[in-house]
Amino acid sequence: MLKVEGLTKRFQGVVALKDYRLTLHEGEILGVIGPNGAGKTTLINLLSGFLRPDEGSIRFQGQDLVRLPAHRIPALGIARTFQNIRLFPSLTALENVMVAMTVHHPPDLASALLGFGPGQRRAQALREQAMHLLEQLGIAHLADRPAGVLPYGDQRRVEIARALALKPSLLLLDEPTAGLHPEESEALVEQLRRLHREWGMAIVMVAHDMPVVMRFCPRLHVLSSGALLAEGTPEEIRNNPLVLEAFLGRPSHSGAA
């Protein structure tokens, strides 16, 4: 469903991502790990159309994403979350999810939020769908609270619910468990696992939280200084000397790096 080749992005001389490639199949889960500054967020920004690459191609279900205007990308079924949570803090959790549904139902939104007009029946259906998403993430009881006052872990869940409101076939998660306690991370990963089983969307999860990624993702990419350093199963990655060196700063005997 997704084929990325030669993807390169520079910021004033800094090469944030260089010559990255990826083939992802329907429903597949890929984890992307790497130290801070490795280019993980840049990759998510490129795949979601938030940034344009300097070089390379991104083909999604046969379409060339690099040539599409960024605002067209969510409607294709690509949704993302942000490393730094971006919710509308004064809208409720439910409203944050409903706003995302405008991608598929633009004319319904105003009546949905304002509660009148010819789209009212449809609006009720949207409200129920949004509520269902909150339920799936275990936060239905927070539906009417302003997003900005929710604890961090719940804001992450609202963000994921909002991404799912796009009914994505590709979900991009940037550090979804950052800032969560280990038990909270585990619960969130369990919810993601259930959602994936139910929806079957492909997922690219970026993180520097190794244990979480290793348990959730059957296949991993390791980025280091913008380059694809290694790929394989969690087992292969765990035993890869180049990876140990990149993460732990261990000198390599071979000089291969």
Q: Which residues bind Mg ion (CB under 5 A)?
A: 40-41, 83
Nearer to ligand ADP, 171 or 223 (CB): 223
Rounded least distance, CB 204 to ligand ADP, Å:
13
Rounded least distance, CB 8 to ligand ADP, Å:
12
What is d(CA 22, CA 150) in angstroms, rounded to the nearest whole number?
36
Nearer to ligand ADP, 14 or 70 (CB): 14
Torsion of CA 200, 93, 80, 71, to 10 degrees: 110
Nearer to ligand ADP, 97 or 216 (CB): 216
In degrees, to the nearest 5, what angle opens at C-alpha 152 toward C-alphas 149 and 156?
110
Nearer to ligand ADP, 41 or 92 (CB): 41
What is d(CA 173, CA 178) in angstroms, rounded to the nearest whole number?
11
Rounded least distance, CB 212 to ligand ADP, Å:
16
Residue nearest Mg ion, Cβ-based: 41
Strands 2-11, 55-60: pairing kind: antiparallel
Q: Which does 39 bind (CB under 5 to 8 A by kind): ligand ADP, Mg ion, none?
A: ligand ADP
Where do contacts with ligand ADP occur on this chain (CB under 6 A)?
Answer: 11, 14, 16, 34, 36-42
Rounded least distance, CB 174 to ligand ADP, Å:
7
What is d(CA 255, CA 103) in angstroms, rounded to the nearest whole number?
50
Please list, residue by residue across 102-131, b when 16 or more beta carbons sit within 10 angstroms of its beta carbon and e when fewer do. bbebeebbebbbeeeeebeeebeebbebbb
